[in-house]
Structure 1
């Protein structure tokens, strides 16, 4: 018999009162948040502590935990050669009223700010060569490791079926979409999850095995509004992005931008459509 997990109510932590959650974390981890430093996102809240660390609190449905687990930052601590905040301790508890779990992770405080305030950038951040070297070293080291976890970009477990459905919705003319190579990935490598000018990758809750090139394609796609930056990402991660799997991941990203939920005001939209046509041609010829 298969047991079903009830769906959780959609909650936006940017507006939802969470004082009781923060109080519980402070008591359990014996820290105090700098409440003025809190960064509130839809699914998480993070802030500095009086211990000179950073604590990130996430609300995750039992459905997502059943599919992937809820300890991404903790398991990522075992990765070698990747620039990320050092993980220190964690706390997990089940909500008394809803089918969700709360998790708090205390990590090293990273003082460099995120490169982008959102997933995409609309201006060139002028990153130094050392930043690009850090990106390459970290992504190469990550891909060389192994994990039973499955990456969850946009909270969905990435599978061959998901890639097929996403691309076909936007580009039904696309050819064979079979992904030949899979490797560990961050799963949400947007410009908001990399810091600069000192390179570091943050927010590891979605990491896991994914098609080769997912991270590079995500960073590239979120730079499409800045052509020179997108070109730099492509050149730096050329081995990934010019593999068949990498081209499919670039097309997968373009499909999410240009598909059924496309926004005409999105500065990535027209570049994504043009890039998709080129990618489909390349995939047909290889």
Structure 2
């Protein structure tokens, strides 16, 4: 795990199937902790596990060209946020891969207060109580009034006016203005795999930063579209975001990912996303 010079581009790796024993061993030695292999949770580019000291370690692999000028310390920087329910950050480890132009990062945090609600896209209503929704709203509202120089990187891509315009116009045309008026801090990866229940907590903060108003609300809504009642609940709870002009642009931004050239014909979100996008385009054209 020593540093090495950059060679060719980083290979695409899925950590759900890629062997990671060497990486886990490196983290154990460096953080002086034992990882519980029976609790490992694997995602496409992250691995998480409990430790023998009652904490959680999240390990991420990211290509150098996806890190950007602001660095790669979102979880660490999120410790400064006030009024946001999240596990406390305890320490980290960062190293450069010896064989590829990628970096690895391990963050140790408190254990989550509950289990993740589900996968990124839900197929069933989790039946969350009113108190859970109040906690979600309190954290998102508190996050939106923070100050930061960070810029959000949803899907590891820095969000800019140009990115928004190209994404939206590439799917919905150019018959309306795509200029964002209000930018505010956002988690930038808000989906059902990154929130807990029954106690609410928001985790995986690597991509947070300033983004157009309504990005988080639109992202959670898109994650809910296969369950109409749940998507409706998100809209009701975050009504002010959805009714704002920037919120409408964020609806189209997330819908562009569902309805764009990489869409899957059997995605249950296609119909609801298309109907909402048509209504939103009409609203923006009439402004």
Fold shared per TM-score above 0.5: yes
Shift of 1:232: 1.1
3-state SS, counterpart of residue 168 of structure 1: helix
What residue in structure 1 maps to residue 121 of structure 2? 120
State the alpha-carbon separation in 1 of the partners of residues 223 and 47 from structure 2: 23
Q: Deviations over 1:23-44 (max 9, x none)?
A: 1111111111110110111111
Alignment of 1:1-286 (within 5 A): 7-116=9-118, 118-172=119-173, 174-286=175-287
Q: 1:8 to 1:174 in 2, by over 3 A?
A: farther
State the alpha-carbon separation in 1 of the partners of residues 41 and 49 from structure 2: 6
State the alpha-carbon separation in 2 of the partners of residues 155 and 64 from structure 1: 6
In 2, are the aligned partners of 1:213 and 1:245 still within 8 Å (CA)? yes
State the alpha-carbon separation in 2 of the partners of residues 6 and 132 from structure 1: 46
Shift of 1:252: 0.8
State the alpha-carbon separation in 2 of the partners of residues 158 and 66 from structure 1: 12
Per the normalisation by structure 1, the TM-score is 0.95
State the alpha-carbon separation in 1 of the partners of residues 219 and 22 from structure 2: 35
Q: Deviations over 1:225-252 (max 9, x none)?
A: 2121111111111111111000100111
In 2, are the aligned partners of 1:213 and 1:246 still within 8 Å (CA)? yes
3-state SS, counterpart of residue 15 of structure 1: coil
State the alpha-carbon separation in 2 of the partners of residues 161 and 5 from structure 1: 30
Q: Deviations over 1:148-195 (max 9, x none)?
A: 111111121111111111111211154111111100000000111111
Unpaired runs of at least 5, structure 2: 1-5
State the alpha-carbon separation in 2 of the partners of residues 93 and 207 from structure 1: 21
Q: Deviations over 1:248-272 (max 9, x none)?
A: 0011111110111111110100100
State the alpha-carbon separation in 1 of the partners of residues 116 and 252 from structure 2: 26
State the alpha-carbon separation in 2 of the partners of residues 9 and 27 from structure 1: 26
Per the normalisation by structure 2, the TM-score is 0.95
3-state SS, counterpart of residue 124 of structure 1: coil
Unpaired runs of at least 5, structure 1: none
In 2, are the aligned partners of 1:169 and 1:260 still within 8 Å (CA)? no
State the alpha-carbon separation in 1 of the partners of residues 28 and 145 from structure 2: 37
Q: Deviations over 1:124-160 (max 9, x none)?
A: 1110111101111100111101111111111211111
State the alpha-carbon separation in 1 of the partners of residues 175 and 137 from structure 2: 30
3-state SS, counterpart of residue 193 of structure 2: helix
Large movers: runs of 4+ above 3 Å: 4-7
